[in-house]
Structure 1
Amino acid sequence: METSVSHRHALPSRSHQRPKDARPVHATPPSPVLETISVLGRQEDPVLSPSTRRHSTVNVQVVSSEEIVRTGQSNAMAALEQLVPSVSSPSFSGVGSNRFIRTMQLRNLSADQTLILVNGKRRHLTSNFNANAGPNSGTEPADLSLIPLSAIDHIEVITEGASALYGQDAIAGAVNIVLKHNTSGGSINFVDSGYYAGDGVGVNGYGDYAFKLGKSGGYLDLAAQVSNQLPTNRSGPYTGTMYFPLADGSVDPRQTKAGRDYNRLEGLGHTTMETVSANGAIPLTDQIRAYMTSTYAHRTVENQVTFRNQANNNTVRALYPDGFIPLMGMSENDFQVNGGVQGTTADWNWDGYVTYGRDDESYTTLNSDNPTFGLASKTNFYDGSDIATQLVAGFKASRNFHPSFLSGPLLVEFGGEYRHDTFQLTAGEYQSWADGGVTVLDGPNAGALATPGASGHIGASPDTASNTARDTFDGHVNLSFHILPKWEWTLGGHAVNYSNLVTTETGSIGTRYDFNKRWAIRANINTGYRPPTLGQENYFYTSTFPTYTFAQLPTTSAAAKALGGGNLKGEYSRSYSIGIDAHPIDNLTVTANLYRIAINDRMANSTQFGGTAVESLLSTLGLNGIRYVQYYTNPVNTVTNGGDVNVSYNVDFHHYGR
Structure 2
Amino acid sequence: MIKILLKTVFIVFFTVISCQLSAQILKGKVTDSTGLFIPGATIQVIGHKLGTSTDANGKYAIKFPKTGTYRIRVSFTGYQNTETDIQMDSISKTMDFALSDTKTLLQNVVVIGSRSSVPRTNIESVVPVDLITSKDVKTFAQVDLTQILNYVAPSFSSNRQTVADGTDHIDPASLRGLGPDQVLVLVNGKRRHTTALVNINGTFGRGSVGTDLNSIPVSAIERIEVLRDGAAAQYGSDAIAGVINIVLKKVTPYSFSTSFGQSDSKALGRNFSDGRTFQADFSKGWAFRNDKGFINLAGQYINREYTNRGGLDTRPLLYSAAPTKGALESEATFEARYASLKAADDARATANGLDRNNMRVGNSDSKNGGFFLNGQYNFNKNSNLYFATGYTHKTGSAAGFFRLPTQTTQIDLTLFPNGFLPFIDTKINDLSFSVGSKGKIGTWDYDISNTSGQNTIKFNINNTVNASLPLGTSPTSFYAGELLFRQNTSNLDLNKKYEFDGGLMTSLNTAFGGEFRIDNYQIKAGDELSYSFGQPSAGIPGRMVGTSFTAAGAQVFPGFKPGNAIDKSRNNVSAYADFEAEFGPRVLLEAAGRYENYSDFGSNFSYKFTGKIKLFGDISLRGAYATGFRAPSLHQRYFNNESTQFVAGNPTQVLTVNNDNAIVSQFGVGSLKPEISRSGSLGLAGKIAKTFTFTIDAYNIDIKDRIVFSSQYARERTSSGALIPTGVVNQILNTVDPNAQVNSVQFFTNAITTNTAGLDVVLTNRFNLGTKSNLLLTVAGNLNKTVVRSINGSDKIESDPTLKAKLFDRLERSRYESSVPKNKLNITANYTIDKLSLVIRTVRFGEVTYLNAIDPTVAANNLPAELDQTFNPKWITDFSVSYAANKSLTLTIGANNVFDIYPDKLYINPRNNENNLSGISTDNYTGGLDNTSNGRFLYPRAISQFGYSGRYVYGKIACTF
Shorter-chain TM-score above 0.5: yes
Report if the CA contact (8 A) 2:611-2:623 is conserved. Answer: yes
Select the residue among 341, 354, 357 that pairs with 1:251: 341
Alpha-carbon distance, 1:621 to partner: 4.1
Report if the CA contact (8 A) 1:193-1:203 is conserved. Answer: yes
Name the structure 2 match of 1:632.
748
Structure-1 separation of matches of 2:659 and 2:566? 13
Report if the CA contact (8 A) 1:439-1:447 is conserved. Answer: no
Name the structure 2 match of 1:61.
130
Alpha-carbon distance, 1:334 to partner: 1.0
Structure-1 separation of matches of 2:308 and 2:526? 29
Q: 1:70 aligns to what SS in structure 2?
A: coil
Name the structure 2 match of 1:186.
254
Name the structure 2 match of 1:331.
427
C-alpha RMSD of matched pairs (Å): 3.0
Q: Deviations over 1:17-43 (max 9, x none)?
A: xxx999999885426789999876979
Spell out the pairing of 1:138-217 with structure 2 (5 A cutoff). Answer: 138-182=207-251, 184-197=252-265, 198=272, 199-217=274-292
Q: Are residues 1:391 and 2:482 paired?
A: no
Q: Deviations over 1:29-58 (max 9, x none)?
A: 426789999876979994879999997211
Q: Deviations over 1:135-187 (max 9, x none)?
A: 121111111111111100000000001111222110000000000011x5221
Q: 1:415 aligns to what SS in structure 2?
A: strand
Name the structure 1 match of 2:553.
453
Alpha-carbon distance, 1:580 to partner: 0.9
Report if the CA contact (8 A) 2:115-2:578 is conserved. Answer: no
Report if the CA contact (8 A) 1:71-1:82 is conserved. Answer: no
Structure-1 separation of matches of 2:191 and 2:300? 22
Structure-2 separation of matches of 1:571 and 1:505? 12
Q: Are residues 1:428 and 2:503 paired?
A: no
Spell out the pairing of 1:197-276 with structure 2 (5 A cutoff). Answer: 197=265, 198=272, 199-240=274-315, 241-245=317-321, 251=341, 253-256=344-347, 257=350, 258-264=354-360, 266-276=361-371
Structure-2 separation of matches of 1:134 and 1:581? 36
Q: Structure 1 residues 561 and 302, CA, compared in 2 at 3 Å: closer, same or farther?
A: farther
Structure-1 separation of matches of 2:163 and 2:757? 25
Q: Are residues 1:577 and 2:681 paired?
A: yes
Spell out the pairing of 1:95-110 with structure 2 (5 A cutoff). Answer: 95-110=164-179
Report if the CA contact (8 A) 1:413-1:478 is conserved. Answer: yes
Alpha-carbon distance, 1:388 to partner: 0.4
Select the residue among 357, 375, 383 that pairs with 2:453: 357
Structure-1 separation of matches of 2:223 and 2:495? 24
Report if the CA contact (8 A) 1:440-1:447 is conserved. Answer: no
Alpha-carbon distance, 1:617 to partner: 6.1
Name the structure 1 match of 2:465.
369
Q: Deviations over 1:612-637 (max 9, x none)?
A: 56579658746975533311111110
Structure-2 separation of matches of 1:71 and 1:390? 34
Report if the CA contact (8 A) 2:162-2:364 is conserved. Answer: no
Q: Structure 1 residues 105 and 423, CA, compared in 2 at 3 Å: closer, same or farther?
A: same
Select the residue among 374, 396, 414 that pairs with 2:512: 414
Report if the CA contact (8 A) 1:440-1:446 is conserved. Answer: no
Structure-2 separation of matches of 1:611 and 1:228? 45
Q: Deviations over 1:472-524 (max 9, x none)?
A: 10111111112343111111101000000121000000011111223211111
Select the residue among 295, 299, 304 that pairs with 2:394: 299
Report if the CA contact (8 A) 1:39-1:59 is conserved. Answer: no
Structure-2 separation of matches of 1:468 and 1:52? 42
Report if the CA contact (8 A) 1:38-1:61 is conserved. Answer: no
Q: Are residues 1:591 and 2:691 paired?
A: no
Q: Are residues 1:655 and 2:772 paired?
A: yes
Report if the CA contact (8 A) 1:281-1:290 is conserved. Answer: yes
Q: Deviations over 1:381-412 (max 9, x none)?
A: 11111010001111101000124544421000
Structure-1 separation of matches of 2:499 and 2:113? 14
Q: Deviations over 1:80-99 (max 9, x none)?
A: 12111111112237722221
Q: Structure 1 residues 230 and 545, CA, compared in 2 at 3 Å: closer, same or farther?
A: farther
TM-score, structure 1 length as denominator?
0.90
Q: Structure 1 residues 343 and 439, CA, compared in 2 at 3 Å: closer, same or farther?
A: closer
Q: Structure 1 residues 447 and 607, CA, compared in 2 at 3 Å: closer, same or farther?
A: closer
Structure-1 separation of matches of 2:163 and 2:533? 29
Q: 2:184 aligns to what SS in structure 1?
A: strand
Unaligned runs of 5+ residues in structure 1 are 1-19
Q: Are residues 1:539 and 2:639 paired?
A: yes
Q: Structure 1 residues 561 and 301, CA, compared in 2 at 3 Å: closer, same or farther?
A: farther
Name the structure 2 match of 1:30.
55
Q: Deviations over 1:361-394 (max 9, x none)?
A: 1112111111111222111111111010001111
Q: Please tell me the residue identity of whatever aligns with 2:383.
A: I
Q: Are residues 1:561 and 2:665 paired?
A: yes
Q: Structure 1 residues 464 and 586, CA, compared in 2 at 3 Å: closer, same or farther?
A: same
Q: Deviations over 1:505-549 (max 9, x none)?
A: 000000111112232111110100101100111112334467765
Name the structure 1 match of 2:478.
381
Name the structure 2 match of 1:111.
180
Q: Deviations over 1:319-366 (max 9, x none)?
A: 110111111111011100000111112121101111111111111211
Structure-1 separation of matches of 2:442 and 2:189? 23
**Which range moved further: 314-323 or 255-264?**
255-264
Q: Please tell me the residue identity of whatever aligns with 1:30.
A: D
Q: Structure 1 residues 119 and 624, CA, compared in 2 at 3 Å: closer, same or farther?
A: farther
Alpha-carbon distance, 1:554 to partner: 1.9
Q: Please tell me the residue identity of whatever aligns with 2:761.
A: V
Q: 1:109 aligns to what SS in structure 2?
A: coil
**Which range moved further: 320-329 or 477-486?**
477-486
Q: Deviations over 1:61-84 (max 9, x none)?
A: 111001110032112221112111
Report if the CA contact (8 A) 1:371-1:438 is conserved. Answer: no
TM-score, structure 2 length as denominator?
0.62
Q: Please tell me the residue identity of whatever aligns with 1:74.
A: V
Q: Deviations over 1:286-329 (max 9, x none)?
A: 31010110010000111100111101111111111011111111
Report if the CA contact (8 A) 1:43-1:53 is conserved. Answer: no
Structure-2 separation of matches of 1:112 and 1:452? 33
Structure-2 separation of matches of 1:43 and 1:156? 7
**Which range moved further: 193-202 or 628-637?**
193-202
Name the structure 1 match of 2:710.
606
Q: Please tell me the residue identity of whatever aligns with 2:562.
A: P
Structure-2 separation of matches of 1:425 and 1:559? 20
Name the structure 2 match of 1:402.
499
Alpha-carbon distance, 1:200 to partner: 1.8
Q: Structure 1 residues 359 and 426, CA, compared in 2 at 3 Å: closer, same or farther?
A: same
Alpha-carbon distance, 1:559 to partner: 2.6
Q: Structure 1 residues 572 and 351, CA, compared in 2 at 3 Å: closer, same or farther?
A: same
Q: Please tell me the residue identity of whatever aligns with 2:757.
A: N
Q: Structure 1 residues 630 and 304, CA, compared in 2 at 3 Å: closer, same or farther?
A: same
Q: Structure 1 residues 305 and 206, CA, compared in 2 at 3 Å: closer, same or farther?
A: same
Q: Structure 1 residues 118 and 466, CA, compared in 2 at 3 Å: closer, same or farther?
A: same
Structure-1 separation of matches of 2:108 and 2:593? 23
Q: 1:308 aligns to what SS in structure 2?
A: coil
Structure-2 separation of matches of 1:53 and 1:392? 28
